[in-house]
Amino acid sequence: MKAVYILNYGGVEQFKIGELPISKPAKNEVLIEVYASSVNPVDFKIRSGMAKFLSGNKFPKILGTDISGVVVETGREVAKFKVGDAVFGAASVVFGRNGGNAEFAAVPEKNLSVKPEDLSFEEAACIPVAGTTAYHNLRNTNIQSGDKVLVNGASGGVGIFALQIAIIFGAEVTAVCSAKNIDFAKSLGADKVVDYTHENFLKNGMKYNFVFDAYGKLAFQDVINSLEENGVMFSTLPTPGILFQSLKTKLFGSKRALMANANYSANNLSEIAELVIQGKIKIHIDKVFPLEKLADAHMQLEQGGGKGKLVVVNKN
Ligand SMILES: NC(=O)c1ccc[n+]([C@@H]2O[C@H](COP(=O)([O-])OP(=O)(O)OC[C@H]3O[C@@H](n4cnc5c(N)ncnc54)[C@H](OP(=O)(O)O)[C@@H]3O)[C@@H](O)[C@H]2O)c1
């Protein structure tokens, strides 16, 4: 099969394009003919070797967690899917397993959902990592209509979902992004926008019920004064500081620090897909790259992304 892969960890110059054997699906996996995948920071973190304790040292390695396509083979214990089903979800690019930047990928059944016809393969491929990180965590809080929610990094992959999901819950949303994305954040429904290049929201005296740090660089100690009583800060980056504060605030104090991790349950995937179909979540795709140009997609994301998501396509 055609694949884009790496033989060593490093920069985008490590990418090679060539033919590799098609993976055999394990008993609980399906083999997918990949139509689209989207690029996430985890992809370039794996490529660079930053996450090698998880991704392992087996090469060639095919990256790409987000995936959409059509089932072409099922493992012997797969019960939910059959050959010909259009699906989307997350490949497990850990412990030597391969991802979706290839013609075919073997993906655990538990990380997949059926792709509704009204959702394109490109849109579906944007949902798993970014969409579930926002949806799973905001839905599982006590977020109420009228709550004040601030989304830091609101114009990026996770941010566009967090912003719109908070709005669905009836929250008043403040988006934080750079000047070039102010209009974009407003177009997604933000009530207020803070340009982080001109204003520090941590110092403007405003308080929020939830601070969702999609950018993932804020420390809980810095955010605490911007949280209302019983307020919650979510962070998408599992730093030792956030993990410590998450444990500490579970035991002490009225304000919480929580990790926001992706969760690829079929329910999460299909519920987000339904919100997209209903027009309640708009998935903005900044750019679509052919698989051969994966390196360009990585470079754009590493240099600051764009508006929303970057997609890589094998087929339309
Ligand atoms: N734990 C998990 O399961 C999980 C899941 C998904 C993502 N993540 C992590 O979450 C982070 C964001 O992912 P993503 O896909 O949303 O990335 P992305 O698409 O690159 O978006 C990054 C966002 O951060 C904004 N930003 C840049 N500098 C900023 C600053 N100084 N202050 C505030 N915002 C700033 C960007 O806005 P401008 O373009 O306007 O500068 C953009 O909106 C990554 O570290 C990723 O690894 C973790």
Q: For the chain, 316 residues long, give each residue's pLDDT as a single digit of tens.
A: 999 999 999 999 999 999 999 999 999 999 999 999 999 999 999 999 999 999 999 999 999 999 999 999 999 999 999 999 999 999 999 888 999 999 999 999 999 999 999 999 999 999 999 999 999 999 999 999 999 999 999 999 999 999 999 999 999 999 999 999 999 999 999 999 999 999 999 999 999 999 999 999 999 999 999 999 999 999 999 899 999 999 999 999 899 999 999 999 999 999 999 999 999 999 999 999 999 999 999 999 999 978 999 999 986 5
Residue 306: what pLDDT?
86
Please report where in the chains the tokens 């850990």 appear, as a residue.
94
* Residue 307, C-beta contacts closer than 8 angstroms, at least 6 positions apart: 155, 160, 181, 184, 284, 286
Ligand 1 geometric centre to CA of 130 (Å): 10
C-alpha dihedral over 273, 274, 279, 282, to 10 degrees? -20
**In angstroms, how far is the first alpha carbon of the chain from the final one?**
18
Per-residue H/E/C for the chain? CEEEEECCCCCHHHEEEEECCCCCCCCCEEEEEEEEEECCHHHHHHHHCCCHHHHCCCCCECCCCEEEEEEEEECCCCCCCCCCCEEEEECCCCCCCCCCCECEEEEEHHHEEECCCCCCHHHHHHHHHHHHHHHHHHHCCCCCCCCEEEEECCCCHHHHHHHHHHHHCCCEEEEEECHHHHHHHHHCCCCEEEECCCCCHHHCCCCEEEEEECCCCCCHHHHHHHEEEEEEEEECCCCHHHHHHHHHHHHCCCCEEEECCCCCCHHHHHHHHHHHHCCCCCCCEEEEEEHHHHHHHHHHHHCCCCCCEEEEECCC
Please report where in the chains the tokens 């579970």 appear, as a residue.
250
| Closest Cα to atom 36 of ligand 1 | 153
Domain boundaries, the chain: 2-115+284-313, 130-259
50 lines ligand 1 (CB under 6 A): no
Q: Round to whole Å and give the CA distance between 201 and 177.
A: 11
| 129, two tokens | 């990592």
Q: Please choose from 111, 136, 177 the residue to mutate so as to test ligand 1's pocket, defined by most ligand atoms within 8 A of CB.
A: 177
308 lines ligand 1 (CB under 6 A): no
| Adjacent-strand bridge partners of 256 | 232
How many CA atoms are closer than 13 Å to the CA of 297, on its beta-carbon side? 29
In contact, 157 and 182? CB cutoff 8 Å? no
| 281, two tokens | 């979540």
Residue 305: what pLDDT?
72
128 lines ligand 1 (CB under 6 A): no
| Closest Cα to atom 9 of ligand 1 | 236
131 lines ligand 1 (CB under 6 A): no
- Helix axis angle for 266-277 and 132-139, nearest 10°, is 100
- Tell me the pTM: 0.97
Bond from prior residue into 240 cis (ω within 30 degrees of 0): no
Sheet holding 208-213, edge to edge: 192-195, 172-177, 148-152, 208-213, 227-235, 256-259
Homologous superfamily assigned to 2-115+284-313:
Medium-chain alcohol dehydrogenases, catalytic domain (3.90.180.10)
Query: What CATH code is assigned to 130-259?
Result: 3.40.50.720
Ligand 1 geometric centre to CA of 52 (Å): 21
Residue 7: what pLDDT?
98
Residue 315: what pLDDT?
66
Task: Give the number of other Cβ atoms within 10 Å of residue 198's Cβ.
Answer: 8
| Closest Cα to atom 11 of ligand 1 | 215
